[in-house]
Structure 1
Amino acid sequence: MHTHVRELRRFLERSGHPAELVTPHGWAHGRGAALRRLVLLALFGTGAVLERVSGPAHVWWYRTSHEVFLRRTLARRLGDAGPCTVYAQCPLAARAALSARSGPHQRVVLAVHFRISQADEWADKGMVGRGGAVYRWIRSTERAVVPRVDGLVFVSEWARAALRAWLPQAGRVPSTVVHNFVANPQAGAGTQPGYAVPDVPAPRPPTAGDLVSVGSLEAVKNHRYLLRILAAARRSGHPYTLDVFGEGVERGRLLALAEELGISDLVRLQGFCRDVPDRLPGYRAYVHASYSESSSFAIMEAMAAGLPVLSSSEGALHELFDDGVEGRFWPIDDPEAAARILAELLEDGAGVTAAGRAARRRFLRDYDAGAVAPRLLRFLQGGGRGTAAGSGSFPARRPAPAGSRRARR
């Protein structure tokens, strides 16, 4: 979500479209700012205490407090504004915008970043019980909000189908599917959207390792499975190295598993790094094993760097590349079979080069901000065609990404 907002704002700034980022913390600005900041500090600090005591209580407090202050911030911003589009990054942000707007001339469009429902994402993190009171409360919020917005932006066909499967009313809202996008790392700071760029990656820096993976160290990302693939590959005579960029609660467990599998010398947990896109070209392939994704910026950035991709086909991942073209799909329940697929790719030098070039071309066509962001902008401004009846043209002057704390950069 953070990357989606950051990349969109970068595109809007470079293409001359005014935009404003609105967050709950904006309430602390203006008259009485010092006191307002103290209030926010106390309220949001309470959430940190609740997180240690009760997951469901923390989730309820987090969501409720952020919505309250986002609504107040938006009300102050939209009260005297003319026609505009509020691009909400979660259902709570959309509800805050619907409450705060001064009329239908201020359009509210919701980005669907979540997998199925935000309730399921909190459950996956272990913060709420699946089917519990807070879980049901979150789904009830989505049932009430999603059908009321003026438009829905899905980042994959899978995400649209997953939401409509349990919330059929979402099908009545004008919508579009626009894949996430990232700025081309070879474009250069002065390059304008729509530039011409080579379809091959820049020369590779000195080799950093064989495999690389990027993502928070959480159970749903399934890094443990990657380690089991490495162990299987070593047993077959292929001791490939793996660097993982990201932090999270799984770090200790992953280190222990690497030791248990006898591959500690092959695995490096690099932690959080801001320059990951710059490091990617030093690897031979990108690997991914997540259980569920509505999209994947990490895979897109790897393809931008010209890396072939090995991934599960879960969720929306099967939409991102074609098996045997830009990379390979592997099973996530058979590390021996996955290791064989990995070796088949990496031991074929010409195949690795061809898949890397194909990945780069696919990125330029489907995920480069210069190619994709204009389509999103047209829909936000009301000029794009939705898939539900009743989509019309809305005047829009200032597309303003808005969201709870989770939607900020």
Structure 2
Amino acid sequence: MHIVDISALYSPTGGGIRTYTRRKLQTAASFGHTMTVVAPGGADAQDEIAPGARLITIKSPHFPLDKNYSYFESDALIHRLLHELRPDFIEASSPWGSSSAVAEWPGTAPRALIMHADPLTAWAYRWFERVARRETIDRGFDWFWRHLRRMDTSYDAIISASRNLTDRLVAGGLSRVQTIPMGVEPGFFSPSLRDPALRARLLARCNLPESATLLVGVGRFSPEKRWPMVIEGATAAGYRRPLGLVIIGDGHARRRVVRAAGDNPHILLLAPLNGREEMARVLASADLLLHGSSAETYGMTPAEARASGLPIIVPDDGAAIDQLRPGAGLAYTAGDPASVAETVVKAIDDLPALRAGAVADAANVEIMDRHFEALFALYEQIAANPATARAA
């Protein structure tokens, strides 16, 4: 099959979606498929990632709030591209406008919508969580649920990478949701990469001795990642236990994150690392992962931390909670910095047991290639009998 991915959320500087997309391109041929990913970008370009696998970028306008991302200029452009590429199967990777454009393309190719974004959790729930119950917020944003239900009738499958997201989509009235957990890139992450010297250097940059606890957070500096809340919680915990917090990332909300860190000498903000190998060493060498976002569709960073033998602290809402295993981490009340502080203190007190549990669990983390195996098998089934898939 020739699979075409209209990938509105891809960015060359992005995190999880970029990792996922490039790995899919690298492995498509091994599953017997050719693949073309089309993404909006800063310039017209074409890159052959692997034999039979192309990444095409179309010069497009930048998002006003985040110049790392662009958006397709029109539905007509997407329709023209699909007509020229003649796909056997189409993916849409954003639940926004491009999903409607793919749904309305008049070609006969079957299609799947991959939920690489959770807009309600990223924005609506976060904005109004202190003043309204989630059921009330959902009623106020019923226009978006109606949009998703229209996509549900227009696509052969809606792909969710986590049980948490699947449950919410089904509760919202969608009937074609398929849960296919994503997994981590193989060959990078391992507890064996733990480096005491690296850990000591990072703690020293946090003005702390090796006897302190090293927490790490990874992700874009954007509002849904909740870094100011993470910093507030870690700072409060730091009055009770000596700890350093290293946050690796950048983004359009950088000023807010820097302001939240203030003059705290025990918080270190680092630019994104150059390679996966360096990230794998940092994750294996830290003591705890502290994750803030409840808007994940899978939780790539918590999964990579698990594969590194690193205990995780995650919110009790959103896809990241799917990565939590008993005895290998803890959960706190989403959006609550006081709960973050209490949970961090408890995790530090229980660290030897949590570390042992996390190291034992590391080998259980699924690799991304198994996700692609299941995904492509589903596509083949749909392509062979799309009428049956639509009736499911």
Shared fold by TM > 0.5?
Answer: yes
2:230/2:292 contact within 8 Å kept: yes
Partner of 2:359: 357
Deviation at 1:328, TM superposition (A): 0.8
Q: Given the superposition, is the C-alpha separation of residues 336 and 108 from structure 1 closer, same or farther in structure 2, using an over 3 Å criterion?
A: closer
1:27/1:70 contact within 8 Å kept: no
Match of 1:72 among 70, 80, 83: 80
Partner of 1:308: 311
Kindly indicate whether residue 27 of structure 2 is the aligned counterpart of residue 11 of structure 1: yes
Kindly indicate whether residue 166 of structure 2 is the aligned counterpart of residue 156 of structure 1: no
SS of equivalent to 1:21? strand
- 1-structure distance, mates of 2:338, 2:148: 41
2:295/2:318 contact within 8 Å kept: yes
SS of equivalent to 1:314? coil
**Runs of 5+ in structure 2 lacking a partner?**
1-16, 47-57, 128-136, 204-213
SS of equivalent to 1:281? helix
**Runs of 5+ in structure 1 lacking a partner?**
31-39, 188-199, 394-409
Partner of 2:370: 371
SS of equivalent to 2:159? strand
Partner of 1:87: 91
1:185/1:304 contact within 8 Å kept: no
- 2-structure distance, mates of 1:281, 1:64: 38
Pairing 1:3-402 to 2, within 5 Å after superposition? 3-15=19-31, 17-23=33-39, 44-45=60-61, 51=64, 65-78=73-86, 84-91=88-95, 92-100=97-105, 102-103=107-108, 106-115=109-118, 121=122, 141-166=147-172, 168=173, 170-171=174-175, 173=176, 175-186=177-188, 201-205=191-195, 206=197, 207=199, 208-209=202-203, 210-236=214-240, 238-259=241-262, 264-275=264-275, 276-322=279-325, 324-332=326-334, 335-348=337-350, 350-363=352-365, 367-382=366-381, 390-391=388-389
Higher relative contact order (CA 8 A, sep 6+): 1
TM-score (norm 1): 0.69
- 2-structure distance, mates of 1:143, 1:71: 22
- 2-structure distance, mates of 1:24, 1:229: 37
2:315/2:335 contact within 8 Å kept: no
SS of equivalent to 2:375? helix
State which drifts further: 338-347 or 370-379.
338-347
Give per-residue Cα distances to partners, 1:343-393, cap 9 Å, x unaligned. 333344531431221341331xxx312433311221122279x9x994289
- 1-structure distance, mates of 2:42, 2:194: 43
SS of equivalent to 2:165? helix
Deviation at 1:125, TM superposition (A): 9.8
Deviation at 1:139, TM superposition (A): 5.9
Give per-residue Cα distances to partners, 1:10-64, cap 9 Å, x unaligned. 332455543222345799689xxxxxxxxx75xx34x66xx38xx9xx9xxx766
Q: What is the alpha-carbon root mean square deviation over aligned residues?
A: 3.9
Give per-residue Cα distances to partners, 1:186-232, cap 9 Å, x unaligned. 48xxxxxxxxxxxx622412314411111112222121222222222
Q: Given the superposition, is the C-alpha separation of residues 292 and 68 from structure 1 closer, same or farther in structure 2, using an over 3 Å criterion?
A: same
- Of all paired residues, the percent bearing the same amino acid is 18
- 2-structure distance, mates of 1:29, 1:186: 29
- 1-structure distance, mates of 2:338, 2:123: 32
SS of equivalent to 1:248? coil
Q: Given the superposition, is the C-alpha separation of residues 389 and 273 from structure 1 closer, same or farther in structure 2, using an over 3 Å criterion?
A: same
Q: Given the superposition, is the C-alpha separation of residues 370 and 164 from structure 1 closer, same or farther in structure 2, using an over 3 Å criterion?
A: closer
SS of equivalent to 1:19? strand
SS of equivalent to 2:221? coil
Q: Which amino acid aligns with 1:71?
A: H
State which drifts further: 277-286 or 16-25.
16-25
Larger strand share, 1 or 2: 2
- Bigger CA radius of gyration: 1
Q: Which amino acid aligns with 2:359?
A: R
TM-score (norm 2): 0.71
